[in-house]
C-alpha cells in the first residue's frame, strides 16, 4: 500500500514539474513565434493540393523493380561465369553471351588469364565486379559500370541539378 501511495505522489510531482516547465517556456515560445512565424504554422495538406496530385514524385517507389533488377544482375553474372569457364576450358573464343553491350565489350577485351581469374573468383565476386566497386584482382573494371540500375527514364531519387532542376523536370 505504501508503494502505491509513493508511486502516486511521484506521478503527481512529475506532472507538476512538466506543467511548471510548460508555463516557464511560454515567453520563450512567444519570442520564437515573433521571430520565426513559419515555425508555428500548420503544415499544408498535400493530398488536397492540385500541384501535389499532378506531381510524378508521389507514387514513386524506389524499390518497385528491385527484385527484377537483382534477378537480371544475377542472371548476367551467371552468364559471364559460364562463358568465361567455357572459354577457358575450350581455349578458343566462343560467341559472346547475351548481356549488356558494355559487358559484352568488356568480355571481348579480356585475355585467357583474366577469364581464368574470373572463374577462380566465383559467382559472388563476379557479381560484385560487374555491378559494384568490388574488383577482382588482375581483371580490368567494366566500363560504364555503376552501383545503380540502368534506367531509360529520369530517376527522381538521383539528381545533381538541385531543387530548380528537379522542379523544372517535374513540370
Identify the pLDDT of residue 100. 82
Exposure class string for 83-96: b at 16+ Cβ within 10 A, else e? bbeebbeeeeeeee
* pLDDT reading at 47 higher than 80: no
Q: What SS3 class is residue 157?
A: coil
Beta strands in the chain (DSSP E): none
Instruction: With cut-offs at 50, 70 and 90, classify the pLDDT of residue 141.
Output: confident
The percent of residues above 70 in pLDDT, for the chain, comes to 73
Q: pTM of whole model > 0.85?
A: no
* pLDDT reading at 151 higher than 50: no
* pLDDT reading at 8 higher than 70: yes
* Domain limits, the chain: 2-41, 45-60+156-171, 66-131
Contacts of 162 (CB under 8 A, 6+ apart): none
Between CA 97 and CA 83 the distance in angstroms is 7
Q: What is the mean pLDDT of residues 33-62?
A: 67
* pLDDT reading at 145 higher than 60: no
Could you tell me the three cell numbers for 108? 571481348
Averaged pLDDT score across all residues of the chain: 78
Between CA 16 and CA 87 the distance in angstroms is 80
Instruction: With cut-offs at 50, 70 and 90, classify the pLDDT of residue 54.
Output: low
**CB-based contact 68:41 (threshold 8 Å):** no
Amino acid at each position: 500500500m505504501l508503494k502505491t501511495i509513493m508511486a502516486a505522489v511521484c506521478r503527481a510531482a512529475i506532472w507538476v514539474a512538466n506543467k511548471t516547465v510548460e508555463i516557464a517556456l511560454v515567453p520563450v515560445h512567444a519570442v520564437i513565434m515573433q521571430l520565426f512565424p513559419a515555425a508555428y504554422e500548420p503544415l499544408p495538406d498535400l493530398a488536397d493540393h492540385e500541384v501535389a496530385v499532378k506531381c510524378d514524385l508521389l507514387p514513386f517507389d524506389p524499390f518497385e523493380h528491385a527484385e527484377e533488377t537483382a534477378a537480371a544482375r544475377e542472371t548476367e553474372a551467371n552468364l559471364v561465369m559460364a562463358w568465361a569457364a567455357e572459354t577457358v576450358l575450350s581455349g578458343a573464343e566462343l560467341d559472346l553471351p547475351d548481356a549488356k553491350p558494355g559487358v559484352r565489350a568488356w568480355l571481348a577485351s579480356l585475355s585467357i588469364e583474366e577469364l581464368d581469374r574470373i572463374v577462380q573468383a566465383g559467382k559472388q565476386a563476379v557479381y560484385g565486379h560487374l555491378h559494384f566497386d568490388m574488383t577482382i584482382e588482375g581483371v580490368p573494371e567494366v566500363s560504364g559500370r555503376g552501383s545503380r540500375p540502368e534506367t531509360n527514364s529520369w530517376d527522381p531519387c538521383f539528381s545533381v541539378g538541385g531543387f530548380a532542376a528537379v522542379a523544372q523536370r517535374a513540370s
